[in-house]
Structure 1
Amino acid sequence: MTRWLTIIGIGEDGYSGLGQNARDALACAGTVFGGKRHLEMLPAGLTAKRAAWPVPFSDTYEQLLALRGQPVAALASGDPMHFGVGATLTRYIALDEMRIIPAPSSFSLAAAALGWPMQETQLLSVHGRPVQTLFKAFSPAAKLLILSNDGDTPAQVARMLRESGYDRAQLTVLEHLGGALERRTAGTADCWDHPRCADLNVLAVDCNKANPPAQVHSTLAGLTDDAFEHDGQLTKRHVRAVTLAHLAPLPGELLWDVGAGCGSIGIEWMRAHNSCRTLAIEASERRQELILRNSLVLGVPDLQLVRGEAPAALQGLAEPDAVFVGGGVTDAGVMDACWESLKPGGRLVANAVTIQSEMALVTWRASYGGELTKLLVSQAQPLGGFDTWRSALPVTIYAARKPV
């Protein structure tokens, strides 16, 4: 099919900053979609019908497809494929039906303004996303470029940095990059008192390795137990690290954390990669609240909580790539429901502490295969004027991969 849709990146310099190929596409278009601000940048001489993005944005797809085959242009900020509308539209319209003409992204302009090499900088967005996702990105020496949601984002991030111990982190707000209203505001997290800035801004954060906080959370599996708020129902650190190694999270994969407790396994699964997803299934209302609080503080607010008891609560959920059964191994139907729902090639991992739950896993292995590992962890603790080894309860870890 003819490439009827052209997605055009446009900057703060507006129409004057567009190349000839973008101008030609606009001149030929019968309809131009875009935000109100972008449409107002177009010259009066363009004859195309101007259509502002509808609310909700999902209505766009039907409107665009109704014009299929006719010349249509769509305006997007900067690079349409970097946290932009182009990345969204490619899910609904085939690539051979469209052309994408990018402009320099806000990140490119910000990196140039600050002299930060982009390959050494994390590029993040909280535009339409929970700002708490940034907690996971805070680490000593980290440099972050953040596409803000609005003019309040810098103050929110400054507060989050203080809460995380990064009082001396340096913040720079870059407003209206590349345009006549471009402005820069800088300060540190501990004394950020600047007024609300323009909604269109990129926030740069230098976490400042010279002043690391008392506690730093790695994205590798095995956070300290005190990183989680819990009531004792917690997969302990060393067992958790081995369990996650068996679960083996990969980008874009979905985990069922069945009997999630305080959510530690599902949270660490999501911390492994920004696109990892978790459904945490938990029956206890008290623990449900712990899961929600832990997911916010540890930077994975997109974790989805399923309130209910397995196996009934598992009905109708999206098929998982991996399942962890931390509670309910001996409950009738739980293991069967998890195995049946698991995608071919997916991983099932279950932990047992009691003799009865271990026997259930031994019986399950006899029918479905897999491997069993017994983990015994001892830690040095004082005994009088000396030290001795104190052993935690041994944990049996079952791991199996469903045949393809």
Structure 2
Amino acid sequence: MQKWLSIIGIGEDGLDGLSAAARTLVQSADLLIGGERHLAMIPQQQDQERIAWAASQLLAQADGLAQQYKGRRTCVLASGDPMWFGIGATLAKRIPAAEITVVPHPGAFSLAAARLLWPLDAVDCLSLHGRPLDLLAPFLTPGARLLLLTENGAAPAKIADYLVRRGFGSAQLTLLEHLGGAQDNSLTGTAKDWPHKTCADLNLLAVEVRDGPGLTRLAGLEDDLYLHDGNITKREIRAVTLARLSPFPGDLLWDVGAGSGSISIEWLRADRRNRAIAIENKDARRSMIAQNALALGVPQLEIKSGSVPDALNGLPDPDAVFIGGGITTEGLIERCWQALKPGGRLVANVVTLEGESVLEQARRDHGGDLARFSVQRAEPVGRFHGWHAMMPVTQWSVTKE
């Protein structure tokens, strides 16, 4: 099939910075699409139609691109590398690869790494354009280096304030404006003393974390990091449960009877590509889940209300399912099992005899393993300390063939 759509990365150096092949695709296009800033870099040509995309309408315009313009030589201009937090990745989900040509340009991350002499393989690169600052939380650990695409000229000051509030005020910040262009400029300072309230809208912020209260991305965070009403999978059991759920990058988890949301939150913290849906019937608990998700850096957690198994209707099929509540509900296990993808993992924890009976029947029906965990913690007994036993937890875990 003819490649009717070309996606061309362009930098602040404009047309002069494009390769000969990229210039040919731009100049021979019947239709040139891009932001106002991108289009202004390209001289007008007779008989070439131009369409300016507004950032606020980008997704809607991308959805209709193939239907409206397929068959015309169409060129879309993008900043830097179109496949790194760019329009190229968006269009690749909507248009077959056989119809697209992508020509990248050195992007902001590559230009910043070269400027700072930071090895890109040792840096976390994130886009905060249209995304909440709480996404930063899992990456804030002593010694971390971050390259952040920000939303506008006011965003770096907000990020500096966020770092201070999270206890990372000593972080060293370097603001890079108009990288690679005639207005290229840099500003530096620490988060706690950041003096620049505004800057150029086109910017990248480099963050070097010196010290602060970082949290591991491994499962088993302290229980007191969560808001909860007592209905929480305790730290030791949570670590075992996540190990059996085995999160792989990009996998989707159903957290059924989510309680405080600790399982789905730590599932998401394992890899930023992971997805999770927390299903919880009680309003107060859903509120706690939302607050916990923000505090622990996973605001993308989807929270769904309703009683199971009906609340599961219409959800995308999961790669893994955790059942932490409602196990005795008739039909719940079968509903989860039917939805689970081949190779998917299902884990259920119970503390009651009735729950154990359900899990034993599930093991007979579907196989898998049963295990019982007993945890004791040392607690004060007068002037001394003794062992306090928590309720034993019975766990069923199985992989769907």
TM-score band, normalised by shorter chain: over 0.9
Deviation at 1:12, TM superposition (A): 0.9
1:104 aligned to 96, 103, 106, which one? 106
Contact 1:27–1:46 (8 Å) recurs in 2: no
Which residue in 1 is equivalent to 2:2?
2
| Range 124-133 or range 297-306, more displaced | 124-133
Summarize the alignment of residues 309-388 of structure 1 with structure 2, pairs less than 5 Å apart.
309-388=307-386
Deviation at 1:56, TM superposition (A): 4.5
Helix, strand or coil at the partner of 2:125: strand
1:219 aligned to 217, 222, 226, which one? 217
Helix, strand or coil at the partner of 2:285: helix
Deviation at 1:46, TM superposition (A): 6.0
Which residue in 2 is equivalent to 1:230?
228
What letter matches 1:33 in structure 2? I
Distance of 2:231 and 2:163 partners within structure 1:
29
Which residue in 2 is equivalent to 1:289?
287
| Range 64-73 or range 235-244, more displaced | 64-73
What letter matches 2:28 in structure 1? C
2:37 matches 1:37: yes
1:256 aligned to 254, 265, 284, which one? 254
What letter matches 1:349 in structure 2? V
1:164 aligned to 166, 172, 175, which one? 166
Which residue in 2 is equivalent to 1:23?
23
Contact 1:135–1:160 (8 Å) recurs in 2: no
Q: What TM-score, normalized to structure 2? A: 0.95
Which residue in 2 is equivalent to 1:394?
392
Percent identity between the aligned chains? Answer: 48
Distance of 1:330 and 1:98 partners within structure 2:
51
Counterparts in 2 of 1:284 and 1:193: CA distance versus 1, 3 Å: farther
Which residue in 2 is equivalent to 1:273?
271
Contact 2:66–2:95 (8 Å) recurs in 1: no
What letter matches 1:143 in structure 2? R
2:157 matches 1:155: yes
Helix, strand or coil at the partner of 1:184: strand
Contact 2:174–2:187 (8 Å) recurs in 1: yes
Which residue in 1 is equivalent to 2:299?
301
Q: What TM-score, normalized to structure 1? A: 0.95
Contact 1:251–1:276 (8 Å) recurs in 2: yes
| Range 336-345 or range 10-19, more displaced | 336-345
Contact 2:10–2:18 (8 Å) recurs in 1: yes
Contact 2:254–2:279 (8 Å) recurs in 1: yes
Deviation at 1:253, TM superposition (A): 0.9
Contact 2:62–2:91 (8 Å) recurs in 1: no
Deviation at 1:60, TM superposition (A): 2.9
Which residue in 1 is equivalent to 2:240?
242
Distance of 2:46 and 2:124 partners within structure 1:
39
Deviation at 1:158, TM superposition (A): 1.4
Which residue in 1 is equivalent to 2:140?
138
| Range 362-371 or range 139-148, more displaced | 362-371
Runs (4+) off by over 6 Å:
none
Distance of 1:363 and 1:116 partners within structure 2:
55
Query: Could you give the per-residue CA deviations for residues 68-127 of structure 1, whole angstroms, max 9, x where no partner exists?
Result: 233221100001111111111122222222221111100111111212111111111111
Distance of 1:223 and 1:93 partners within structure 2:
41
What are the ranges of 5 or more consecutive residues in structure 2 without an aligned counterpart?
none
Counterparts in 2 of 1:334 and 1:140: CA distance versus 1, 3 Å: same
Provide the aligned C-alpha RMSD in A: 1.5
Which residue in 1 is equivalent to 2:184?
182
Deviation at 1:336, TM superposition (A): 2.2
Query: Could you give the per-residue CA deviations for residues 106-152 of structure 1, whole angstroms, max 9, x where no partner exists?
Result: 01111112121111111111112222111111111000001112222
Distance of 2:240 and 2:291 partners within structure 1:
24
Helix, strand or coil at the partner of 1:203: strand
| Range 15-24 or range 138-147, more displaced | 15-24
Distance of 1:369 and 1:26 partners within structure 2:
59
Summarize the alignment of residues 43-58 of structure 1 with structure 2, pairs less than 5 Å apart.
43-45=43-45, 47-53=47-53, 55-58=57-60
Helix, strand or coil at the partner of 2:192: helix
Query: Could you give the per-residue CA deviations for residues 372-403 of structure 1, whole angstroms, max 9, x where no partner exists?
Result: 11001112233344433221111111111223
Distance of 2:62 and 2:233 partners within structure 1:
45
Which residue in 2 is equivalent to 1:82?
84
